[in-house]
A = this chain, B = another copy of it.
Amino acid sequence: MNPAIGVCYYPEHWPEDWWESDAARMAEVGIKVVRIGEFAWSKLEPTPGDLQLDWMIRAMDVLGRQGLQVIVGTPTATPPRWMIDKHPDMLAVDAQGRRKGFGSRRHYDFSHLGYREESARITRILSDALSDHPALGGWQTDNEYGCHGTTYSYSPAALDGFRLWLENKYGTIAALNQAWGTVFWSMDYNRFDQIELPNLTVTEVLPIHDLDFRRYSSDQVAAFNKVQYDILKAARPDLPVIHNFMSRYTEFDHYDVAETLDVASWDSYPIGHLAVSDEPEETKRAYLRQGDPDNAAFHHDHYRTVGHGRWWIMEQQPGPVNWAQANPDPLPGMARLWAWEAFAHGAEVVSYFRWRQAPFAQEQMHAGLHRPDREPAPAYFEAKQVAEELAATGIGGTAAKGRIALVFDYQSEWAWDVQPQAAGFKHGTHVRALYAAFRKHGLDVEILSPKTKTFDGFDIVAIPGLFAWTDELREAISDFDGHLLLGPRTGSKTQNFSFPARLGPDLPQNLLDLKVSRVDSLPPGIEVPVKGGGSARLWREKIEGGAEVVMEDVEGVPVLVSQGKVFYLTASGDRALMQRVADYLIAEANMPVLTIPAGVRCRVRGGFRIYVNYGATAQMLTKADDETAYVVGGADIPAAGVTVVKLATAG
């Protein structure tokens, strides 16, 4: 379908006699999609077995009559209080050994099989009751898996599951001892039931012990989702099953979970996300009311890959949120800008959270399209404008395929968190720094999973900090004839979290004749300048082998080396170094670039280039050769402004 805006709506929060006017007004705004139900279990089943689905059907009737498509969320993120009476041990246990109780949300343990069955039961009930409703447009499973740190639980249920998972993986305890290197500190096990969860030990556990627990925990999220997916798809194979993921949340492998999803979506709160991030203070200050200008885009591109090409914004920030330390008002126009940027990256739907600010409960300070007194809030008008502009431009199609790709891998997130070696050097930060550097020139970027088997069609592929090679990536790089950039730590471990026999990056000599002989990790604030500009910081490798030196630091340590079209970056860099590396690769690959003012970003979709100005001041765009008429805005792009320009050739 053509891109559309949506909204999150909670009929159970409002008097039923408000529903009609709410729905009519949604239609007026130009909303096409409404998500409901994901927190409504206690209204659907107030006591065990007492099912009350009529009100939801009536709400869908009302919405459907306005031509709105309804996405129904399974309510499994908020099991009712009586569920805890049935399954007291379904509550998760935190790493400090504390059972986390009822009273908020996500109070369940992914390892608890009894609750997994309850989740199947309520999903089946909803599927049976609603699958044939004419307004039904799709399903959302649960809500924000892992939010509030709920991927990991240190409960008896998790312990049982983990032991079984290990036994399935390793077969014999001797095989586990061998793979884990338990010999190191007399940690050999005699039986699987002696293995504990990796918390509350005297000092750190084996890195593979920790990593396997993260793999196990991730698998439970995927298994939990699959149960709902299978039920929902059995009834309506034609309707999409969606989950709403989050920003910078990597505790489970989203690629794996998305094996049982049709569409990925994510919840985009740019200002809150910047506030709670570890971005530098100057970024937080400059983009206080806009959010990080590359973070949403990165996730758009990432979730497009997670969703097999299809993705939505399920929750879009409409104004101040309630959950950061400070919650500033967005610049006027940002609720429009964020939506346009998402569409530029290929979003099918951008759904604002929420129709009306709730005057009660935990999120009462979270803005909506309306205020608690039912009056429109500023985002109401911005959403309406977006809907009108979408219609006017007739934009469609999909995001243009970028010719640069970055591999983003969840296991690397876990591995470098398990074994930082240089505090402050973070996998995600490093990947995003490279993303921002490529994107600065207006180049569209694709994100790839570590199961990617071919890099065909790309001019440049970067593998910024891969923990351990997958067979697929080995295959992809061996066949690739574009420019390949490998970053520090890449290939430095085996899947069992040991050094590979030939050390990292562990590639055949004909591809890259290089060994990392030593790691020099540096505290924040210590920088080693690189000749020509930029600095290495936090992570530095010393290498040996025959690769040619492209850049070196003032101590003569190679920073960027190459062998043919394979490049290896030995360090993490400041912004200037990362930009120099990206620029060098772009020049080597002979890619044309755009000239874009500070604070402005762009992307191509459906024959249009969409510019957005994250800056707090207006900028003047330079018309690129492939650009024809401005269809939204113009060359003079104000703060929080959007300019859409028609391209000469379809994207």
Q: Are B202 and A522 in contact (CB under 8 A)?
A: no
- What CA separation (Å) do A353 and B206 show in the bound complex? 20
Chain A 350-387, CB-CB to B under 8 Å as 1, else 0, gives 00000000111111110100011101011000000000
Selected interface stretch from A417-425, A466-474, A588-596, A624-632:
A417-425
- Against B, the Cβ 8 Å flags (1 = close, 0 = not) of A41-56 are 1110011000000000
Contact status B184-A362, CB under 8 Å: yes
**What residue in chain B is nearest A97 (Cβ atoms)?**
B98
Task: Identify the interface centre among A12, A79, A82, A327: most chain B CB within 10 Å of its CB.
Answer: A327
Within the assembled complex, what's the spacing in Å between the Cα atoms of A419 and B198? 35
Interface window among A20-28, A100-108, A297-305: A100-108
Given A201-B101, A419-B365: A328 and B518 interface contact (C-beta under 8 Å): no
A207 to B360, CA, bound (A): 9
Q: Does A526 contact B (CB under 8 A)?
A: yes
Contacting residue for A185 out of B97, B104, B203, B285, CB 8 A:
B104
Closest residue of chain B to A501, judged by CB? B373
Interface stretch, picked from A187-195, A445-453, A578-586, A641-649, is A187-195
Contact A361 B421 (CB under 8 A): no
Known A202-B104, A521-B320; contact A13-B183, beta-carbon cutoff 8 A: yes
Evaluate whether A81 and B185 lie within 8 angstroms (CB atoms) in the complex, with A101-B200, A499-B364, A518-B367 already known: no
Taken together, the copies of this chain in the complex come to: 3
Q: Is A558 an interface residue (CB 8 A)?
A: no
Q: Does A542 contact B (CB under 8 A)?
A: yes
Asked if B82 and A326 sit within 8 Å, CB to CB, the answer is no
Do A196 and B102 contact each other (CB < 8 Å), given the known contacts A78-B186, A542-B329? yes
Report the nearest B residue to A84, measured CB to CB: B194
Which chain B residue has the least Cβ–Cβ distance from A539?
A: B326
Contact B186 A41 (CB under 8 A): yes
The total of chain A residues at the interface (CB under 8 A) is: 109
Residues of B within 8 A of A497 (CB): 360, 364
With an 8 A cutoff between CB atoms, is A507 at the interface?
Answer: no
Question: With A186-B41, A327-B521, A360-B181 as given contacts, are A202 and B150 in contact (CB-CB < 8 Å)?
Answer: yes
Say yes or no: B185 contacts A99, CB within 8 Å: no
Q: Is the CB of B98 within 8 A of A196?
A: no
A104 close to B203 (CB less than 8 A)? yes
A residues 489-507 near B (Cβ < 8 Å) are 496-499, 501-503
Q: Which residues of B contact A498 (CB under 8 A)?
A: 359-360, 364
A206 touches which of B103, B198, B359 (Cβ 8 Å): B103
**Interface check A599, CB cutoff 8 A:** no
User: Known contacts A81-B187, A519-B365; is A104 also within 8 Å of B499 by CB?
Assistant: no
Q: Which residues of B contact A517 (CB under 8 A)?
A: 371, 375, 377
- Given A201-B101, A203-B106, check contact A423 B325 (CB 8 Å): yes
The answer to whether A487 has its CB under 8 Å from any CB of chain B is no
| Chain B residues whose C-beta falls within 8 Å of the C-beta of A198 in the assembled complex | 103
Distance in Å: Cβ of A551 to nearest Cβ of chain B: 19
Q: Which B residue sits closest to A327, measured CB to CB?
A: B521
Give A42 to B189 CA distance when docked, in angstroms. Answer: 9
Taken together as a complex, chains A and B put the C-alpha atoms of A71 and B236 apart, in Å, by: 72
Shortest beta-carbon distance from A514 to chain B in Å: 13
A81 to chain B, nearest CB (A): 5
A85 in the interface (beta carbon within 8 A): yes
Cα–Cα distance between A367 and B367 once the two chains are bound (Å) = 53
Q: Does A284 count as interface, using CB distance less than 8 angstroms?
A: yes
Alpha-carbon distance A103/B522, docked complex (angstroms): 29
Could you tell me the distance between the alpha carbons of A517 and B522 in the complex, rounded to whole angstroms?
47
Q: Which of B81, B97, B205, B526 contacts A288 (CB 8 A)?
A: B526
Within 8 A of B (CB), among A614-647: none
Which of B103, B187, B201, B320 is within 8 Å of A201, CB to CB? B103
Partner of A200, one of B75, B99, B190, B538: B99
Residues of B within 8 A of A75 (CB): 186
Docked CA distance A202–B110 (Å):
14
Distance to closest chain B CB from A44 (angstroms): 9
Which A residues, 537 to 591, have Cβ-Cβ distances below 8 Å to chain B? 538, 542
A39 close to chain B: CB less than 8 A:
yes
In the complex, A510 has a CB within 8 A of chain B: no
Asked whether, in the complex, the Cβ of B85 is within 8 Å of the Cβ of A183, the reply is: no
Is A92 positioned at the interface, with any CB of B under 8 Å from its CB? yes
**In the complex, are the beta carbons of A328 and B520 less than 8 A apart?**
yes
Q: Which of A80-129 contact B (CB under 8 A)?
A: 80-82, 84-85, 92, 96-107
With A and B bound together, what is the CA distance between A92 and B82 in angstroms? 28
Partner of A186 from the list B43, B97, B326, B371 (CB cut-off 8 Å) is: B43
Question: Known interface pairs A43-B183, A362-B206. Does A502 touch B201 (Cβ–Cβ under 8 Å)?
Answer: no
Tell me if A80 and B43 are in contact (CB < 8 A): no
Question: Complex: how many Å from CA A491 to CA B279?
Answer: 36
Residue of B whose beta carbon sits closest to that of A378 = B518
A110 to chain B, nearest CB (A): 13
Given contacts A105-B202, A196-B101, A519-B320, A526 and B186 within 8 Å (CB-CB): no
Nearest CB of chain B from residue A271's CB, rounded to whole Å: 11
The 6 A-B residue pairs with the shortest CB-CB distance in the complex, in nearest-first order: A181-B360, A184-B361, A359-B499, A78-B186, A325-B423, A42-B186
A residues whose Cβ falls under 8 Å from a Cβ of B: 12-13, 39-43, 46-47, 75, 78-82, 84-85, 92, 96-107, 147-148, 150, 180-190, 194, 196, 198, 200-209, 275, 284-285, 288, 319-320, 322, 325-329, 358-365, 367, 371-373, 375, 377-378, 419, 421-424, 496-499, 501-503, 515, 517-526, 538, 542
18 contacts between A and B (CB under 8 A): A42-B182, A81-B190, A85-B194, A103-B201, A104-B202, A185-B361, A185-B362, A207-B362, A275-B523, A288-B526, A326-B521, A327-B422, A327-B521, A328-B521, A371-B517, A372-B499, A373-B501, A377-B517
Sample of 5 more A-B contacts, CB < 8 Å, known A92-B202, A105-B185, A106-B202: A13-B183, A104-B201, A104-B204, A184-B362, A360-B499
